[in-house]
Amino acid sequence: MKTMTIRNVPAELAQALDRERTRRGVSLNRTVLALLRNALGVANAAVRSNGLRDLAGTWSEAEFKQFEQAVAPLGEIDEPMWR
């Protein structure tokens, strides 16, 4: 692994990084690495999360069918409204 030093970081960027570090609750180093991975498109899918991973695939087939039936009318066009 390579060690790097970043020089001449503008104050507003340093403050933004510190706010992000605080928001994430991790070290500045981890924060910068995660931001760089994401920005450069080399993020590990296991590291990234939108918070929905735990919900994915949790519906039973019956629940899915019930949902499909419930939202089916949303795809219908009300002809009188479009005249």
Q: In angstroms, how far is CA 71 from the centroid of its own chain?
A: 25
- Residue 36: CA count within 13 A, CB half-sphere: 8
Average pLDDT over residues 37-42: 89
Average pLDDT over residues 21-27: 93
Higher pLDDT, 45 or 79: 79
**Stated pTM of the model:** 0.51
Digit-coded pLDDT (tens) for 48-82: 566 666 677 778 889 889 999 999 988 888 888 88
What are the Cα distances from residue 77, in Å, to 2, 69, 81, 82? Answer: 59, 16, 8, 8
pLDDT value at residue 13: 97
